[in-house]
Structure 1
């Protein structure tokens, strides 16, 4: 849809009305500002991604079911990108798994099985993005913290807390150990260590008391940041030669309470009364209540303040010339502090926004004496942007110190709006973020059931009705039904399609309990939401560069499908112009030809194949094909692994916090898990080459952090390119490999690469054939430091080569595998991940015998529920055996960008 249609639908307001007249010395016209800004938004529309999960948390052995919504301006389903990437990142910022999903009509869905071999108890982050979104910082991707417990392998339930006084560098921990039934592990020996990536920081041992508690005490440390990046690892003796190892993050063990101030409009200005927002944060990243006073440099109290909601609040202050101000703060935990307020500007404007009027967003701008004298009769512009569209523009002459403006809310869409005042030169002067709440422009979603209460395994019929502006709406929804009794959660803390698209994707930083602002809306919640807008910054849209035409660079273009490209060369390295290259995908019975350009390059676009497909690229249909070689490009792209902005959502005590869910998970596992018969066909163990075969590397950890198997490398035409993609936790920059987490923290020390036990330069890898590689071992740390100290490096990559066959005849097929023709290659590029179907059992409730126990927590999941022209859809499924409250969540969107959500509950007795 073209941008003019957006503007027409939204009703762009451009006024000179009460605001005023024509500027005498305007250097940039208002229409120019609007046109250039809208042109930029049109050419570089933002995409937003939201993932709807079936549950808020999981256990090892579960499957995560999700639906992705990709939207653009005015929340419309995006047609920009056809590929979505979903990364699962561990709590130590290492990539665990990456999915590639095909997007149709702005939607995709998939599954993430949490296999025991790949996942363990901990906090993980799921981020989702399109390649087009990588032109902005990773902070603009969808990010969600997901906690995963382990009811299968954990026989010990722990609870840790850090009873330290904020501001101290002394670390203490109090840990309780108990079994899954709640009985304490009393009088048990415990050994503990504190470790980070650089090694062991401290260690000790002790014994739990009769109630299962032990205290861990560490002397005061000099570098608190080093300790925050560490983990406390404990090993408890369970008797009968059994032990249990637990690991606890120390991110919140040390730290100070923090308080920040946010003057409305951006700055305090002398002589102008200003509203100031405040936000108090505890060391764990969550809010903390606060109260205090503001005094000037003569110790006169000029304001009192107290937090009103989640550590946020407001107060008013009239800054005076030649005065400074400080806040005397008392936090809810009893600590106190003195914090300087931002220094007031001697010349400037203050913007205030009143959002209490249900019909209009009212603004007022006041200039202080100094600014008014210096800029009298100069032009000022007011521009507002919402949902990727310029929705308001006005201009005035500064012929009085205060003036106001109003934007009719009927012309706006629900969501964040940023109002900016600019000078006649296009320089931003002040800015204010507000939130427009208009329920009328959302989908009205209604869900009803055929009964109010059901029996176990009884059939359920749900009727769904979708309306937009009172009329039936053809919409697409995802629906999850979960046993809420066995999966308790904090409803206010949920991330939903409303919170993500309307709020979280538009502002910087972590938002605590986002769904609080979208349920049971009243005047108090709207006031608290305005306090949030005052203390959160708007995202990356700025006018100055747009007006001057200095746009940020584009690094990636939108993807309409999978693309494979490469270069056809002669064996001497010369590019082949007009060469014929053929691509075939056997399992899809698909083939296509491409002709190389003058540089010898070729490209196959809009391909569709699964992640398990073998793709063959051949130049055999050329004259003297045996003298040609194909070099494939590395088309896979993984943006850097940034720090998690939602670390505050991580659960410190997963096994104790998720006790109810994990107990049900254990019962489900015990009920369905059966030992399978294992037939031993051979007692011969094939010897494989590892780093331990080389003396120089024998001091490395016996188990590598990651191992790249030969199956992942056998089809590689360019081994170095393949290694860049396959090596988890590793970043390739400037022809060097780096440990990703260290590189992102500023450590630019490269890794050392070894081939057959010998240290080599990275360029040497270009000479390797992937079919000849036995494996690649990735060591993100060198525990003893023998390698890193010798080579002044950080981390180790070990390339193990297959042994040369000896004493047995070599078949021609074996030789072809070891030395494939250069003009034909077979590769396994990253394709679309398979989409699985959620299993729905069917029960005959007339039978008295019901074998087994159906303890599933998610009893229904459908990512593709489409309403008819009448706006209706019907869903049918059977309940499980779990009693309690079942919760049905419906989220979705229509073709016009209206989004909606509803929650329905019923009982199972």
Structure 2
């Protein structure tokens, strides 16, 4: 049962005459409120937040996480019983897709970063529920993590770029790459070849040698900025003995470029109305940069000075005049300058502004100019304030003066983003202002160690206390303890349960250093948070659609568990009602039965399937069963969207994560055990490929891209996995297209083969990942003529695994013939979470073998406080000395959030 709390405060914000109330409004204020409440109750807002044990990782690590699934005012969600977690690489391919059961609004899991699958570079962790998929994917949890490689990385690199623009419009980029070995010794006088790659194709290439200090200067030929910034620089350094090491560098930030945007409060500049104007300056990486400058009118008169306050953001005030154009003259950090036109001044209009004169009140000011007052005098206007889809404040007034000012107690609103909207009586949104209300009413979480300091490998006992104000609460929490020396952390840059659920989950676009606003907040941080509200778009809630009864279509209902559904038909296509369907899971010795409805539909709910299991559906126990056909509804896979947090990607991982990678390297070296190597003669086993078929004799000998069978071994349905894993291809409208051509407007599909047999995309729905040996992708058809013959563009070849030929009996042959009334298929089940390993040391014994170099000292996603608001746990320190950091996050049943960080010393 989901609790619904609607606080509708209808109050009079401004004074108005009784005579004015007698006027008939087009849309009564009560109608606006009622429609908003109906929308919120029909489309509750669900969110997912992941608390991960560390901010970054290395190949070979395990990512430990806890998923918090909330609804409405951050209460543990009872809406969804399943949460999905995707791992997406830098080429926008889904590496892993986890399905986890949600209990009491929480789930926990882990992701093992194996060296066979994961390479050094940036990755995305995306989490969502089925219900969330009905709405904008921008509101999924989407977090960028950086993964380094300390195990087999022989070459550490550091790259810097220098760019210059040409008169032709092209851009020239010079790259300086430093090559060193893991011990920090330069690779001097080594030959390096390089390629500029875009969409998997080489644009230009060259070669050179490193100097005595290990530097290589790469002179990238002139290209369009879009060609360079959407590509990557791939280098191969000669290591001797016919061995090379390849490194890939993103060029997203290679071109030095800046941009400045201006955001008038309430959305527009209006003649004669003094307005605040916020601005945001960013570099080509999307990160804020400091600027300074002046605002001048078209006569060159200085109207205001501008300077950044925080992360490229700032604010100034201006009284604009009709007929004048205003220009910002800006100086950037490198000394370059630029000019930007401010938005055009509106001759007639009304503005909405807000500010906080004290901690208890929000002051709202409505300002109109003379022309607007003349035309709209004695007309009614509504002010509505909502947060999380709930209207907390509504007021009505009549326009009789140029400006009105009133105070609204902040106590009317919860902590978080509040959207203030000024409406005309006809229901048109005229102005909007977003503010952040900070009550500092989070849970009072306490973490306390049993001793002031500890020694290495000593047992640590910690106690937890959770209170809402002074009252103890029962809550669900997760705890991570890290070694500060090997995992140095910028706390302002972290994504936390507070920064995500209260701030970034409701905003579109990238938010730089989100925890800055919650990490020891003061007045300066509150002021900068208000500037952020002016520069960042809030688009979760559209009154225009609500008033027009334009509701979002619901394609997927909330999911309480794994469902298996489909339809039973006769061989002639007619649905069969009131028939028996049986479900079997052989490896779990599980069975269940159901009856089809009158339309032949059937559904099994809450099917408990672990990992990837085979399910059998049978309709044999029916009259005339030989003429029955079972059709199973396929599983839906979430489409990929662009990474909204690319500025968090680190190019120079080796240097940025050096303390962590040094420790990871020591861990690996410490854990290695030399084993006896027995050399046996092995028979070369030829792998299936397109070269096995004469049909493909004209194709290039080497595919442009290849997906190995190992990458597909856990894929329940091939078409869904290829839609995200087929590098260089785009999957749209049930067809594959070559990405570069599709983006250029050439929408000609790829020709698909299974072996030498041409098939359509629907055929791939019958193939599972374990059946596939490899997938080859050809962006051109060479001299084969395949594309000319089939009117296609590109070739996709699926090579199935070779089945050994064996003699079988007639009975065995009949058993292999598929029966339409029995269907066996793979399904993605729940991923089973591992237990976090924690060594136990005996303080009375010494000399334990092997150094303990853990960086995650302790992880526990299942801390639950009792009715007294307390809990406790214990763990053993590692061999690392210095400062340890303990982080606890979580919430109680009422949706009150909490986070606490403490440090303790190990000597």
* Contact residue 74 and residue 389 of structure 1 kept, 8 A: no
The offset of 1:870, in angstroms, is 0.8
* Contact residue 23 and residue 379 of structure 1 kept, 8 A: no
The offset of 1:126, in angstroms, is 0.7
What is the 5 A alignment of 1:247-266? Answer: 247-266=248-267
Alpha carbons of structure 1 residues 464 and 729: separation in structure 2 relative to 1, 3 Å: farther
Q: Secondary structure at the match of 1:144?
A: strand
Equivalent residue number for residue 902 of structure 2: 904
Equivalent residue number for residue 468 of structure 1: 468
Q: Secondary structure at the match of 2:73?
A: helix
Q: Secondary structure at the match of 1:662?
A: helix
Equivalent residue number for residue 295 of structure 1: 296
- Bigger shift: residues 591-600 or 58-67: 591-600
Equivalent residue number for residue 234 of structure 2: 233
What is the 5 A alignment of 1:9-24? Answer: 11-16=7-12, 18-20=14-16, 22=21, 24=23
Equivalent residue number for residue 862 of structure 1: 860
Q: Secondary structure at the match of 1:538?
A: coil
- Bigger shift: residues 285-294 or 793-802: 793-802
Equivalent residue number for residue 617 of structure 2: 617
* Contact residue 231 and residue 249 of structure 1 kept, 8 A: yes
Equivalent residue number for residue 215 of structure 2: 213
* Contact residue 233 and residue 247 of structure 1 kept, 8 A: yes
What is the CA RMSD across the aligned residues, in angstroms? 2.7
Alpha carbons of structure 1 residues 868 and 198: separation in structure 2 relative to 1, 3 Å: closer
Alpha carbons of structure 1 residues 193 and 741: separation in structure 2 relative to 1, 3 Å: closer
* Contact residue 45 and residue 388 of structure 2 kept, 8 A: no
Equivalent residue number for residue 400 of structure 1: 401
The offset of 1:406, in angstroms, is 2.5
The offset of 1:866, in angstroms, is 0.2
| Count of aligned pairs | 898
The offset of 1:139, in angstroms, is 1.0
What is the 5 A alignment of 1:410-449? Answer: 410-440=411-441, 442-449=442-449
The offset of 1:584, in angstroms, is 2.1
The offset of 1:708, in angstroms, is 4.9
What is the 5 A alignment of 1:257-336? Answer: 257-336=258-337
The offset of 1:823, in angstroms, is 1.7
Alpha carbons of structure 1 residues 773 and 149: separation in structure 2 relative to 1, 3 Å: closer
Equivalent residue number for residue 644 of structure 1: 643
The offset of 1:687, in angstroms, is 4.5
Alpha carbons of structure 1 residues 61 and 2: separation in structure 2 relative to 1, 3 Å: closer
- Please give the alpha-carbon distance, in whole angstroms, between the structure 2 residues aligned to 1:136 and 1:823: 37
- Please give the alpha-carbon distance, in whole angstroms, between the structure 2 residues aligned to 1:751 and 1:411: 58
Deviations 1:448-505 (A, max 9, x none): 1012221111100111110002111111100000111101121110000000000001
- Please give the alpha-carbon distance, in whole angstroms, between the structure 2 residues aligned to 1:582 and 1:691: 40
The offset of 1:747, in angstroms, is 6.4
Alpha carbons of structure 1 residues 141 and 56: separation in structure 2 relative to 1, 3 Å: same
* Contact residue 166 and residue 335 of structure 1 kept, 8 A: no
The offset of 1:622, in angstroms, is 1.3
Equivalent residue number for residue 185 of structure 2: 183
* Contact residue 2 and residue 79 of structure 2 kept, 8 A: no
Equivalent residue number for residue 629 of structure 1: 629
- Please give the alpha-carbon distance, in whole angstroms, between the structure 1 residues aligned to 2:97 and 2:690: 27
The offset of 1:884, in angstroms, is 2.0
Deviations 1:765-790 (A, max 9, x none): 67x67699654515274596978865
- Please give the alpha-carbon distance, in whole angstroms, between the structure 1 residues aligned to 2:715 and 2:194: 43
Deviations 1:366-423 (A, max 9, x none): 0111211111111110011113311110110111121123321122211111111111
Alpha carbons of structure 1 residues 364 and 333: separation in structure 2 relative to 1, 3 Å: same
- Please give the alpha-carbon distance, in whole angstroms, between the structure 1 residues aligned to 2:611 and 2:673: 30
Q: Secondary structure at the match of 2:228?
A: helix
- Please give the alpha-carbon distance, in whole angstroms, between the structure 1 residues aligned to 2:120 and 2:781: 23
The offset of 1:357, in angstroms, is 1.6
* TM-score of the superposed pair, with normalisation by structure 2: 0.94
- Please give the alpha-carbon distance, in whole angstroms, between the structure 2 residues aligned to 1:546 and 1:579: 43
* Contact residue 481 and residue 886 of structure 2 kept, 8 A: yes
- Please give the alpha-carbon distance, in whole angstroms, between the structure 2 residues aligned to 1:805 and 1:495: 52
* Contact residue 351 and residue 364 of structure 1 kept, 8 A: yes
What is the 5 A alignment of 1:113-192? Answer: 113-165=112-164, 169-192=171-194
Q: Secondary structure at the match of 2:171?
A: coil
Equivalent residue number for residue 55 of structure 2: 56
* Contact residue 190 and residue 238 of structure 2 kept, 8 A: yes
The offset of 1:533, in angstroms, is 0.8
* Contact residue 171 and residue 253 of structure 1 kept, 8 A: yes
Equivalent residue number for residue 100 of structure 2: 101
The offset of 1:684, in angstroms, is 4.5
Alpha carbons of structure 1 residues 880 and 393: separation in structure 2 relative to 1, 3 Å: same
Alpha carbons of structure 1 residues 511 and 166: separation in structure 2 relative to 1, 3 Å: farther
The offset of 1:151, in angstroms, is 0.5
Deviations 1:200-223 (A, max 9, x none): 1111111111111111112321x2
* Contact residue 256 and residue 283 of structure 1 kept, 8 A: yes
Q: Quick check: 1:595 aligned with 2:591?
A: no
* Contact residue 713 and residue 722 of structure 1 kept, 8 A: no
The offset of 1:720, in angstroms, is 6.4
* TM-score of the superposed pair, with normalisation by structure 1: 0.94
- Please give the alpha-carbon distance, in whole angstroms, between the structure 1 residues aligned to 2:16 and 2:740: 54
Q: Secondary structure at the match of 2:663?
A: helix
- Please give the alpha-carbon distance, in whole angstroms, between the structure 1 residues aligned to 2:770 and 2:847: 58
Equivalent residue number for residue 356 of structure 2: 355
Equivalent residue number for residue 692 of structure 1: 691
Alpha carbons of structure 1 residues 715 and 193: separation in structure 2 relative to 1, 3 Å: closer
Alpha carbons of structure 1 residues 895 and 805: separation in structure 2 relative to 1, 3 Å: closer
Gaps of 5+ in 1: none
- Bigger shift: residues 255-264 or 548-557: 548-557
* Contact residue 162 and residue 255 of structure 2 kept, 8 A: no
* Contact residue 393 and residue 412 of structure 2 kept, 8 A: no
Equivalent residue number for residue 888 of structure 1: 886
Equivalent residue number for residue 607 of structure 1: 607
Q: Secondary structure at the match of 1:170?
A: strand
The offset of 1:242, in angstroms, is 3.3
Alpha carbons of structure 1 residues 670 and 758: separation in structure 2 relative to 1, 3 Å: same
- Please give the alpha-carbon distance, in whole angstroms, between the structure 1 residues aligned to 2:713 and 2:372: 65
* Contact residue 715 and residue 826 of structure 1 kept, 8 A: no
